[in-house]
């Protein structure tokens, strides 16, 4: 479906965003291997977490979906059962990588498949360390899905330094460590999102400038209640809209404010964005609060690289669009990982910015441009990528005659995004 984006004069009111995808995935998986009943409130209904839900159903678990709550009757870490059909991860890299860690320690065979996009994404980053642990796990000849896992009696503990920052790889290995013969330790030069650690009750230590987290197979995993906060990566799109549309005043409720995820707030505030935090509290180990955002005259002059890029990897598309309407330059390096997402996001961002009339310099690991220029509307491809579609949809509320192609892809992370954005507008 193609959508012509209407001009919006201002945005007002209280808005909600879907439950955090990262936390939803992990709550579903932890509930699946827990001893006893887990209740997950406000689980994301986006396509990716629903792929995880579908997979754990196939692994023989009793699950009740009550709408606002999902009840999982866990039988412990060895309580899963062999699926008679391949497990379908859909488009979800989180599903296939994290679930591989759990399945690597099982005593039955499994096959995990994905859609055409996921089947092109790199899996060597999990296959190599899992094989170091003794897992019998293989991808294709070029280390992509489908992934085949054969049973083992027990995995071996390892001490593993991540070659590149990846919360998915870290979490996959922590899950596998639950089935190992001793403590498995993961070392990061740059700390990535730490939801898995918080949810399993693991401690991260700073050793010689690196972040080290370990998991022992004796760690207890008991059924519990999970409250899923609003996804800050999804909230970023409405934050941007509120900042760039004159007269806007929005409250976004119950947003997750995990320290490893909130760098987007720091960057937007650095640009002069009027964003306040209200009603901040801790629920189930995760900081949560309301975000109050008002229209602001933004200044850019940003140069992002290194650890900042790791913290912002999901928000770079919408941050780039926000910088279109700010005075100054926007430059990003060390973002090569963007080329291995649902699409080559560097290429997608650069191409769409150019279609709007922005002069962009592209690098292998990033791009650069100047904001505050005059832009012209155009038909913009989404490349089937939810974050590209939503980001340039936000651009369209300020630029006349923007049409986004294949807009249904937003269901991957933000079902109902277009309705939420446009229904909240006074045009």
Report CA dihedral (248, 252, 264, 240) to the nearest 10 degrees: -30
Q: How far is CA 252 from CA 122, 175, 232, 365, in A?
A: 35, 33, 10, 32
Structural tokens at position 271: 């640009």
Q: How far is CA 382 from CA 2, 119, 345, 409, in A?
A: 10, 19, 10, 8
Using the CB atoms, write b or e for 54-93: b if 16+ within 10 Å. bbbbbbebebeeeeeebebbbbebeebeebeebbbbbbbb
Strand ordering across the sheet containing 10-15: 274-283, 286-294, 249-256, 10-15, 425-426
Kindly give the interhelix angle for 93-103 and 167-177, rounded to the nearest 10 degrees: 20
Other Cβ atoms within 10 Å of 146 Cβ, number: 17
What residues form DSSP beta bridges with 273? none
Q: Are 177 and 215 in contact (CB under 8 A)?
A: yes
Give the residue among 208, 202, 143, 153 at the shortest CA–CA distance from 181. 153
Other Cβ atoms within 10 Å of 41 Cβ, number: 16
Would you call 4 exposed, middle or buried from its count of C-beta atoms within 10 A (0-12, 13-18, 19+)? exposed
Other Cβ atoms within 10 Å of 330 Cβ, number: 25
Question: Rounded distance, CA 154 to CA 75, Å?
Answer: 19
What amino acid positions are annotated as catalytic residues? Answer: 314
Residue in this structure with the two tokens 């960057």, named with its chain if needed = 267
Structural tokens at position 3: 């959508």
């Amino acid at each position: 479906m193609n959508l012509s984006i209407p001009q919006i004069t201002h945005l007002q009111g209280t808005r909600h965003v879907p439950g955090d995808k990262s936390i939803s995935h992990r709550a579903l998986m932890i509930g699946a291997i827990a001893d006893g009943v887990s209740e997950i409130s406000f689980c994301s209904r986006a396509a990716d977490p629903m792929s995880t839900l579908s997979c754990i159903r196939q692994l023989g678990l009793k699950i009740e979906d009550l709408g606002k709550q999902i009840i999982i009757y866990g039988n412990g870490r060895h309580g899963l059962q062999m699926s008679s059909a391949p497990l379908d991860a859909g488009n979800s890299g989180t599903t296939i990588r994290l679930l591989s860690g759990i399945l690597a320690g099982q005593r039955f065979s499994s096959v995990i498949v994905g859609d055409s996009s996921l089947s092109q994404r790199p899996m060597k980053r999990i296959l190599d360390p899992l094989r170091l642990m003794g897992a019998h796990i293989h991808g294709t000849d070029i280390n992509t899905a489908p992934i085949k896992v054969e049973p083992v009696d027990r995995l071996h503990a390892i001490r593993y330094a991540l070659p590149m920052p990846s919360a998915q790889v870290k979490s996959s290995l922590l899950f596998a460590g639950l089935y190992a013969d001793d403590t498995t330790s993961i070392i990061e030069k740059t700390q990535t999102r730490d939801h898995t650690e918080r949810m399993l009750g693991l401690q991260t230590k700073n050793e010689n400038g690196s972040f080290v987290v370990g998991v022992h197979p004796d760690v207890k995993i008991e059924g519990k209640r999970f409250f899923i906060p609003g996804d800050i990566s999804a909230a970023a799109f409405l934050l941007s809209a509120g900042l760039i549309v004159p007269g806007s005043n929005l409250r976004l409720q119950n947003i997750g404010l995990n320290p490893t995820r909130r760098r987007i707030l720091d960057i937007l505030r650095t640009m002069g964005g009027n964003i306040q935090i209200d009603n901040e509290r801790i629920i189930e180990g995760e900081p949560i609060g309301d975000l109050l955002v008002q229209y602001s005259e933004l200044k850019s002059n940003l140069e992002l690289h290194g650890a900042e890029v790791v913290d912002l990897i999901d928000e770079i598309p919408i941050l780039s669009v926000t910088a279109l309407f700010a005075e100054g330059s926007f430059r990003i390096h060390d973002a090569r990982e963007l080329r291995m997402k649902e699409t080559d996001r560097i290429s997608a961002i650069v191409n769409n910015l150019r279609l709007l009339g922005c002069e962009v310099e592209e690098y292998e690991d990033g791009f650069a441009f100047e904001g505050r220029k005059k832009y012209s509307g155009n038909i913009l491809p989404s490349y089937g990528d939810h974050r590209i579609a939503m980001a340039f949809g936000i651009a369209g509320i300020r630029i006349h005659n923007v049409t986004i192609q294949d807009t249904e892809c937003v269901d991957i992370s933000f079902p109902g995004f277009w309705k939420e954005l446009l229904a909240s507008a006074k045009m």
